[in-house]
Amino acid sequence: MNVLDFHARLVPGDGEPGRMLAAMDAAGIGQAAVCAGGMLPLERLARQLNDGGRTETAADNEGVRRACEASGGRLLPFYFADPVRDVEAYGKCAFDFRGLEISPAVHGGRLDDPGVGELVDIAGIAGHPVYLVTVAQPGARPADLVRLAARFPHVTFVWGHCGHTGLDITGLNTVAGSPNVLAELSGCLTVTARLAVARLGARRVLFGTEYPLQQPEVELCKIAALDLDRPDREAVLGANARRVLCEETPWKQP
Protein backbone atom coordinates (compact mmCIF):
# COMPACT_ATOMS: atom_id res chain seq x y z
CA MET A 1 0.00 0.00 0.00
CA ASN A 2 1.30 3.46 -0.93
CA VAL A 3 1.21 5.46 2.31
CA LEU A 4 1.41 9.28 2.25
CA ASP A 5 1.88 11.05 5.57
CA PHE A 6 -0.03 14.33 5.26
CA HIS A 7 1.62 16.01 8.25
CA ALA A 8 5.26 15.76 9.27
CA ARG A 9 7.69 18.44 10.42
CA LEU A 10 11.28 19.11 9.47
CA VAL A 11 13.15 20.43 12.48
CA PRO A 12 16.47 22.29 12.33
CA GLY A 13 19.58 20.16 12.60
CA ASP A 14 22.25 18.44 10.57
CA GLY A 15 20.54 15.05 10.84
CA GLU A 16 17.51 16.02 8.78
CA PRO A 17 16.01 15.11 6.43
CA GLY A 18 17.97 11.87 6.78
CA ARG A 19 16.32 10.90 10.08
CA MET A 20 12.87 11.59 8.65
CA LEU A 21 13.50 9.48 5.57
CA ALA A 22 14.88 6.65 7.72
CA ALA A 23 11.80 6.79 9.96
CA MET A 24 9.58 6.69 6.89
CA ASP A 25 11.46 3.68 5.53
CA ALA A 26 11.16 1.85 8.85
CA ALA A 27 7.40 2.45 8.96
CA GLY A 28 6.75 1.76 5.28
CA ILE A 29 5.75 5.33 4.39
CA GLY A 30 6.45 6.37 0.83
CA GLN A 31 5.88 10.13 0.90
CA ALA A 32 5.25 12.90 3.40
CA ALA A 33 3.93 16.44 3.28
CA VAL A 34 6.46 18.43 5.27
CA CYS A 35 6.29 21.74 7.11
CA ALA A 36 8.85 23.61 9.21
CA GLY A 37 9.03 22.68 12.89
CA GLY A 38 11.03 23.43 16.00
CA MET A 39 10.07 27.10 16.08
CA LEU A 40 9.43 27.26 19.82
CA PRO A 41 10.05 25.04 22.88
CA LEU A 42 7.42 22.38 23.55
CA GLU A 43 6.60 23.87 26.96
CA ARG A 44 5.78 27.19 25.35
CA LEU A 45 3.78 25.58 22.56
CA ALA A 46 1.70 23.69 25.13
CA ARG A 47 1.08 26.91 27.02
CA GLN A 48 0.06 28.78 23.88
CA LEU A 49 -2.38 26.02 22.92
CA ASN A 50 -4.23 26.66 26.16
CA ASP A 51 -3.64 30.34 26.85
CA GLY A 52 -2.84 31.90 23.50
CA GLY A 53 0.31 33.71 22.50
CA ARG A 54 2.58 34.34 19.58
CA THR A 55 6.14 33.55 18.54
CA GLU A 56 8.25 35.91 16.44
CA THR A 57 10.55 33.10 15.29
CA ALA A 58 10.44 32.77 11.52
CA ALA A 59 9.83 29.37 9.91
CA ASP A 60 12.66 28.06 7.75
CA ASN A 61 10.46 27.64 4.69
CA GLU A 62 13.38 27.86 2.29
CA GLY A 63 15.23 25.12 4.18
CA VAL A 64 12.14 22.91 3.93
CA ARG A 65 11.86 23.61 0.21
CA ARG A 66 15.51 22.70 -0.42
CA ALA A 67 15.28 19.49 1.62
CA CYS A 68 12.16 18.42 -0.23
CA GLU A 69 13.68 19.27 -3.60
CA ALA A 70 16.58 16.93 -2.85
CA SER A 71 14.36 14.05 -1.71
CA GLY A 72 13.50 12.65 -5.13
CA GLY A 73 9.79 13.36 -4.74
CA ARG A 74 9.34 11.73 -1.34
CA LEU A 75 8.97 14.97 0.65
CA LEU A 76 6.40 17.57 -0.41
CA PRO A 77 6.96 21.09 0.99
CA PHE A 78 4.30 23.15 2.77
CA TYR A 79 4.78 26.86 3.47
CA PHE A 80 4.34 27.74 7.16
CA ALA A 81 2.96 31.27 7.08
CA ASP A 82 2.68 33.95 9.74
CA PRO A 83 -0.43 35.96 8.77
CA VAL A 84 1.13 39.11 10.21
CA ARG A 85 4.28 39.18 8.08
CA ASP A 86 4.36 36.40 5.48
CA VAL A 87 1.61 37.34 3.02
CA GLU A 88 3.93 38.99 0.52
CA ALA A 89 6.65 36.35 0.89
CA TYR A 90 4.20 33.48 0.36
CA GLY A 91 2.73 35.22 -2.65
CA LYS A 92 6.14 35.44 -4.27
CA CYS A 93 7.08 31.77 -3.84
CA ALA A 94 3.77 29.91 -3.52
CA PHE A 95 4.30 27.85 -6.66
CA ASP A 96 7.50 26.42 -5.16
CA PHE A 97 5.39 24.71 -2.47
CA ARG A 98 2.56 22.17 -2.36
CA GLY A 99 0.46 23.51 0.49
CA LEU A 100 0.05 26.15 3.19
CA GLU A 101 -0.06 25.88 6.97
CA ILE A 102 -1.59 28.53 9.23
CA SER A 103 -1.22 27.98 12.99
CA PRO A 104 -3.09 30.06 15.58
CA ALA A 105 -1.21 28.05 18.23
CA VAL A 106 2.14 29.33 16.97
CA HIS A 107 1.32 32.77 15.59
CA GLY A 108 -1.81 33.67 17.55
CA GLY A 109 -4.50 35.78 15.96
CA ARG A 110 -7.94 35.01 14.63
CA LEU A 111 -9.08 33.23 11.49
CA ASP A 112 -11.03 36.32 10.43
CA ASP A 113 -7.89 38.49 10.50
CA PRO A 114 -7.19 40.11 7.11
CA GLY A 115 -3.82 38.39 6.74
CA VAL A 116 -5.42 34.96 7.02
CA GLY A 117 -7.84 35.73 4.21
CA GLU A 118 -5.02 37.05 2.03
CA LEU A 119 -2.97 33.89 2.59
CA VAL A 120 -5.93 31.64 1.77
CA ASP A 121 -6.64 33.66 -1.36
CA ILE A 122 -3.07 33.01 -2.54
CA ALA A 123 -3.43 29.33 -1.65
CA GLY A 124 -6.53 29.15 -3.81
CA ILE A 125 -4.66 30.63 -6.78
CA ALA A 126 -1.77 28.19 -6.27
CA GLY A 127 -4.10 25.21 -5.82
CA HIS A 128 -2.83 24.58 -2.31
CA PRO A 129 -4.65 22.84 0.53
CA VAL A 130 -4.58 24.83 3.79
CA TYR A 131 -3.59 22.88 6.92
CA LEU A 132 -4.90 24.48 10.09
CA VAL A 133 -5.12 23.37 13.73
CA THR A 134 -7.88 25.06 15.73
CA VAL A 135 -7.35 26.07 19.36
CA ALA A 136 -9.50 27.13 22.31
CA GLN A 137 -9.15 30.89 21.85
CA PRO A 138 -12.00 32.99 20.41
CA GLY A 139 -11.63 33.45 16.68
CA ALA A 140 -9.61 30.26 16.15
CA ARG A 141 -12.11 27.55 17.05
CA PRO A 142 -13.72 24.97 14.74
CA ALA A 143 -16.71 27.24 14.09
CA ASP A 144 -14.28 29.93 12.93
CA LEU A 145 -12.66 27.44 10.55
CA VAL A 146 -16.10 26.62 9.15
CA ARG A 147 -16.76 30.32 8.50
CA LEU A 148 -13.37 30.68 6.81
CA ALA A 149 -14.02 27.62 4.65
CA ALA A 150 -17.39 29.04 3.60
CA ARG A 151 -15.65 32.20 2.36
CA PHE A 152 -13.33 30.09 0.18
CA PRO A 153 -15.45 27.15 -1.03
CA HIS A 154 -12.97 26.16 -3.73
CA VAL A 155 -10.06 25.81 -1.27
CA THR A 156 -9.50 22.53 0.57
CA PHE A 157 -8.92 23.00 4.31
CA VAL A 158 -7.40 20.27 6.47
CA TRP A 159 -8.39 20.32 10.14
CA GLY A 160 -5.17 19.22 11.79
CA HIS A 161 -5.19 16.56 14.53
CA CYS A 162 -9.02 16.63 14.57
CA GLY A 163 -8.64 19.61 16.91
CA HIS A 164 -6.05 20.19 19.62
CA THR A 165 -7.42 18.03 22.44
CA GLY A 166 -7.47 14.55 20.91
CA LEU A 167 -11.16 14.25 21.75
CA ASP A 168 -12.81 17.24 20.07
CA ILE A 169 -16.06 15.52 19.15
CA THR A 170 -17.91 18.84 19.23
CA GLY A 171 -15.43 20.27 16.74
CA LEU A 172 -15.83 17.19 14.55
CA ASN A 173 -19.58 17.75 14.46
CA THR A 174 -19.00 21.42 13.67
CA VAL A 175 -16.85 20.79 10.58
CA ALA A 176 -18.92 17.84 9.34
CA GLY A 177 -21.24 20.06 7.29
CA SER A 178 -18.39 21.77 5.42
CA PRO A 179 -17.48 19.58 2.44
CA ASN A 180 -14.21 21.44 1.76
CA VAL A 181 -12.90 20.69 5.28
CA LEU A 182 -11.06 17.38 5.71
CA ALA A 183 -9.78 15.91 8.97
CA GLU A 184 -6.18 14.85 9.63
CA LEU A 185 -5.76 12.23 12.35
CA SER A 186 -2.32 12.57 13.92
CA GLY A 187 -2.43 12.88 17.70
CA CYS A 188 -6.15 12.27 18.17
CA LEU A 189 -7.63 9.33 20.05
CA THR A 190 -8.72 6.19 18.24
CA VAL A 191 -12.36 6.89 19.11
CA THR A 192 -12.07 10.34 17.51
CA ALA A 193 -10.48 8.88 14.39
CA ARG A 194 -13.24 6.30 14.12
CA LEU A 195 -15.92 8.98 14.48
CA ALA A 196 -14.18 11.13 11.85
CA VAL A 197 -14.49 8.32 9.31
CA ALA A 198 -18.09 7.62 10.32
CA ARG A 199 -19.28 11.24 10.28
CA LEU A 200 -17.22 12.74 7.47
CA GLY A 201 -16.77 9.66 5.31
CA ALA A 202 -13.44 8.05 4.51
CA ARG A 203 -12.80 10.40 1.56
CA ARG A 204 -12.55 13.35 3.97
CA VAL A 205 -10.00 11.79 6.34
CA LEU A 206 -6.20 11.93 6.05
CA PHE A 207 -3.42 9.97 7.73
CA GLY A 208 -0.65 12.00 9.37
CA THR A 209 2.11 11.33 11.87
CA GLU A 210 3.24 14.67 13.40
CA TYR A 211 6.81 13.37 13.08
CA PRO A 212 9.10 13.87 15.02
CA LEU A 213 6.77 14.40 18.00
CA GLN A 214 5.05 11.08 17.28
CA GLN A 215 6.49 7.79 16.08
CA PRO A 216 5.00 7.00 12.66
CA GLU A 217 4.31 3.39 13.69
CA VAL A 218 1.99 4.61 16.47
CA GLU A 219 -0.22 6.44 13.99
CA LEU A 220 -0.20 3.47 11.62
CA CYS A 221 -1.34 1.23 14.49
CA LYS A 222 -4.22 3.63 15.11
CA ILE A 223 -5.35 3.30 11.49
CA ALA A 224 -5.09 -0.50 11.75
CA ALA A 225 -7.26 -0.41 14.89
CA LEU A 226 -10.07 1.28 12.93
CA ASP A 227 -10.54 -1.99 11.01
CA LEU A 228 -11.46 -0.18 7.79
CA ASP A 229 -12.28 -2.11 4.64
CA ARG A 230 -9.55 -2.01 2.01
CA PRO A 231 -10.93 0.86 -0.14
CA ASP A 232 -11.43 3.10 2.91
CA ARG A 233 -8.02 2.19 4.33
CA GLU A 234 -6.34 3.01 1.02
CA ALA A 235 -8.23 6.30 0.89
CA VAL A 236 -7.18 7.37 4.38
CA LEU A 237 -3.57 6.21 4.08
CA GLY A 238 -2.78 7.83 0.77
CA ALA A 239 -5.38 8.15 -1.97
CA ASN A 240 -7.10 11.15 -0.38
CA ALA A 241 -3.79 12.93 0.18
CA ARG A 242 -2.73 12.36 -3.41
CA ARG A 243 -6.06 13.74 -4.61
CA VAL A 244 -5.74 16.85 -2.44
CA LEU A 245 -2.10 17.37 -3.45
CA CYS A 246 -2.72 16.55 -7.12
CA GLU A 247 -0.18 13.72 -6.99
CA GLU A 248 -1.20 11.76 -10.05
CA THR A 249 0.67 8.56 -9.21
CA PRO A 250 2.06 7.07 -6.00
CA TRP A 251 5.79 7.46 -5.35
CA LYS A 252 7.88 4.45 -6.29
CA GLN A 253 11.45 3.58 -5.38
CA PRO A 254 13.67 4.57 -8.33
Mean pLDDT on 78-82: 98
| Residues 4-245, CATH architecture | Alpha-Beta Barrel (3.20)
Cα of first residue to Cα of last residue in the chain, in angstroms, is 17
* Listed residue (201, 52, 57, 211) closest to 141, CA to CA: 52
Quick one: pLDDT at residue 13?
80
Per-residue pLDDT of 95-140, as tens digits, reads: 999 999 999 999 999 999 999 999 999 999 999 999 999 999 999 9
Q: What is the domain partition of the chain in residue ranges?
A: 4-245
What average pLDDT does the chain have? Answer: 95
Helix-strand-coil split of the chain, %, nearest 5: 45, 15, 40
Res 60 pLDDT > 80: yes
Quick one: pLDDT at residue 200?
98
| More confident site: 249 or 187 | 187
Per-residue pLDDT of 11-55, as tens digits, reads: 988 789 999 999 999 999 999 999 999 888 889 888 888 888 998
Q: With contact defined as beta carbons under 8 Å apart, do 33 and 8 qualify?
A: yes
Query: Above pLDDT 90, what percent of the chain?
Result: 87
Quick one: pLDDT at residue 12?
85
What is the rounded distance in angstroms from the CA atom of residue 22 to the CA atom of residue 111?
36
Mean pLDDT on 165-184: 97
- Cα angle at 15 between 102 and 166, to 5 degrees? 40
Quick one: pLDDT at residue 222?
98
Quick one: pLDDT at residue 1?
58
- Taken as a whole, the chain contains a residue count of 254
What is the phi-psi region of residue 222: left when phi exceeds 0, alpha when psi lies from -120 to 50, beta otherwise? alpha
AA letter at 235:
A
Res 210 pLDDT > 70: yes
Per-residue pLDDT of 190-202, as tens digits, reads: 999 999 999 999 9
Q: pTM for the whole thing?
A: 0.96
